[in-house]
A and B are shown apart, each in its own frame.
Chain A
Amino acid sequence: MAKAKGDISINIEKCKGCEICMDACPEDVIAMSKEVNQKGYLYAVKITDTCTGCTNCALVCPDAVITVFRETKQKKEQIATITNVTGNITVTVDK
Chain B
Amino acid sequence: MSIDTLDRIETKVFERPTSLIDTEMHYCPGCGHGTAHRLIAEVIDEMGIVEETIGVAPVGCSVFAYNYIGVDFSEAAHGRASAVATGIKRVLPEKYVFSYQGDGDLAAIGTGETIHTCNRGENILIIFINNGIYGMTGGQMAPTTLPNMKSTTSPFGRDTKSMGYPLKITELVAQLPGTYYVTRQSVHKPLNVRRTKKAIQKGFEYQKLNKGTSFIEIVSNCPSNWKMTPVESNKWLDENMLPYYPLGDIKVPNEKEA
Which residues in A have some Cβ–Cβ distance to B below 8 Å? 5-7, 14, 16-20, 22-24, 39, 41, 53, 55-56, 58-76, 93
Contact = CB atoms under 8 A, between A and B. Distances in A.
B229 A59 contact: no
Contact of A72 (B11, B14, B38): B11
Contacts of A69: 10-13
A28 to B, nearest CB: 14
Given A18-B230, A24-B190, A63 B15 contact: no
A41 B190 CA distance: 23
A67 B13 CA distance: 8
Contact of A70 (B10, B29, B188): B10
Instruction: Classify the secondary structure of B's interface with A.
Output: mixed
Contact of B30 (A20, A56, A58, A64): A20
Given A67-B14, A76-B7, 18 more contacts: A7-B10, A14-B24, A16-B28, A16-B29, A16-B30, A20-B30, A41-B29, A59-B14, A59-B190, A59-B193, A62-B29, A62-B34, A69-B10, A70-B11, A71-B8, A71-B10, A72-B8, A72-B9
A16 B24 CA distance: 10
A62 B27 contact: yes
B35 interface: yes
Contacts of B29: 16-18, 41, 62
Interface residues of B, number: 36
7 contacts: A18-B223, A19-B30, A20-B230, A61-B35, A62-B31, A69-B10, A72-B10
Contacts of A67: 12, 14-16
Interface in B133-176: none
Given A19-B229, A60-B190, A74-B8, A68 B13 contact: yes
B187 interface: yes
| Residue of A62, A64, A74, A75 ringed by the most chain B CB atoms within 10 A | A62
